[in-house]
């Protein structure tokens, strides 16, 4: 057995132990709730652009991009562009792939900074609602014939995410992923998002569950959440299996 396959076997065994580790899961969740209350996800930048993510999810995305090697990463929800720049920089290191961002409101200063960024040649942006028919058609045209990875990180209501899943999950290539962020809202205290239209019972996780009940092409990759433990996307790493 090679040193590399011995290492992979030990990682696999560790992840399968972590999947059963209720104590660590509970501690991770407690920390996640406390850190979310302190706006932890707003602390980071990637290559100078603010990225509204937890570092553990970013590492999971790095593993996914390396494995999938997509031609096109489609992300709904651009904000300051940090996540677009992050995926584009991974494509740059891999030597392949482009990123297409969709946002209902691309602020001029954000657009300017993204367009001036060293990773800009791998990034394109479309402005409009991700669930508008004309936007879906534009993105479908961009995705045609490509190996596609989808990330949903825009409006986090049940209805919006379900509509995004119905529109964009079918674009995902077999073996690739549709990553749905902020499913963790379902597991947070009910008063955690007083100023938001989403909350417990109405959020990305409830949308994922409704979507999966009617679509057998995807399964939740539970190894990813077991390995990173801290994630804003529990039940949100959807792998296309057929």
Q: Whole-angstrom distance between the N-terminal and C-terminal Cα of the chain?
A: 31
Q: Which of 102, 119, 148, 171 binds ligand SAM (CB under 6 A)?
A: 102
**Are 230 and 53 in contact, with CB atoms under 8 Å apart?**
no
- Determine if 64 is a binding residue for ligand SAM (CB under 6 A): no
Q: Which stretch binds ligand SAM (CB under 6 A): 2-10, 96-104, 142-150, 185-193?
A: 96-104
For the chain, the maximum distance between any two Cα atoms, rounded to a whole number of angstroms, is 55
Q: Which stretch binds ligand SAM (CB under 6 A): 22-30, 87-95, 153-161, 166-174?
A: 153-161
Q: Which residues pair with 75 in a beta bridge?
A: 101, 151
Q: Which stretch binds ligand SAM (CB under 6 A): 11-19, 71-79, 186-194, 220-228?
A: 71-79
Q: Which of 56, 89, 154, 176 binds ligand SAM (CB under 6 A)?
A: 154
Helix (H) or strand (E) run with residue 227 in it? helix 222-228
Q: Which of 6, 9, 21, 105 binds ligand SAM (CB under 6 A)?
A: 105
Q: How far is CA 153 from the centre of its chain?
A: 7
- Determine if 63 is a binding residue for ligand SAM (CB under 6 A): no
**Are 136 and 167 in contact, with CB atoms under 8 Å apart?**
yes
Name the minimum Å distance from CB 153 to ligand SAM: 4
- Determine if 137 is a binding residue for ligand SAM (CB under 6 A): no
**Are 108 and 78 in contact, with CB atoms under 8 Å apart?**
no
- Determine if 203 is a binding residue for ligand SAM (CB under 6 A): no
- Determine if 83 is a binding residue for ligand SAM (CB under 6 A): yes
- Determine if 148 is a binding residue for ligand SAM (CB under 6 A): no
Helix (H) or strand (E) run with residue 43 in it? none
Please give the structure tokens belonging to residue 206.
Answer: 């409830």
Q: Which CB, 52 or 224, lies closer to ligand SAM? A: 52
Restricting to residues 38-57, which ones interact with ligand SAM according to CB under 6 A? Answer: 51-53
**Are 161 and 180 in contact, with CB atoms under 8 Å apart?**
yes
User: What burial letters (b/e) apply to 209-232, b meaning 16+ CB within 10 Å?
Assistant: eebbeeeeebebbebbbbbbbbbb
**CA pair distance 205, 158, nearest whole angstrom:** 8
Name the minimum Å distance from CB 19 to ligand SAM: 26
Helix (H) or strand (E) run with residue 112 in it? helix 108-115
Q: Which CB, 153 or 202, lies closer to ligand SAM? A: 153
Name the minimum Å distance from CB 83 to ligand SAM: 3
Q: Which of 60, 68, 73, 79 binds ligand SAM (CB under 6 A)?
A: 79
**Residues in contact with ligand SAM by the rule CB under 6 A:** 51-53, 76-80, 82-83, 102-105, 129-130, 153-155
């Amino acid at each position: 057995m090679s040193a590399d396959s011995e290492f992979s076997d030990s990682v696999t065994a560790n992840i399968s132990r972590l999947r059963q580790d209720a104590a660590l899961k509970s501690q991770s969740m407690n920390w996640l709730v406390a850190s979310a209350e302190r706006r932890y996800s707003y602390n980071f930048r990637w290559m100078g652009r603010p990225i509204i993510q937890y570092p553990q999810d970013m590492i999971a995305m790095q593993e996914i991009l390396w494995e999938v090697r997509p031609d096109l990463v489609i992300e709904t929800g651009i904000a300051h562009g940090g996540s677009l720049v992050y995926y584009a920089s991974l494509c740059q290191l891999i030597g392949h792939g482009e990123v297409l961002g969709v946002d209902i409101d691309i602020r001029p200063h954000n657009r300017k900074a993204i367009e001036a960024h060293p990773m800009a040649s791998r990034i394109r942006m479309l402005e409009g609602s991700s669930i508008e028919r004309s936007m879906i058609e534009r993105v479908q045209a961009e995705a045609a014939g490509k190996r596609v990875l989808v990330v949903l990180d825009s409006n986090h209501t049940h209805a919006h995410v379900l509509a995004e899943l119905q529109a964009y999950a079918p674009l995902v290539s077999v073996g690739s992923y549709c990553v749905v962020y902020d499913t963790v809202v379902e597991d947070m205290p009910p008063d955690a998002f007083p100023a938001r239209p989403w909350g417990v019972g109405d959020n990305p996780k409830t949308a994922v569950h409704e979507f999966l009940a009617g679509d057998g092409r995807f399964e939740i990759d539970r190894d990813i959440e077991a390995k990173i433990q801290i994630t804003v996307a529990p039940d949100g790493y959807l792998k296309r299996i057929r």
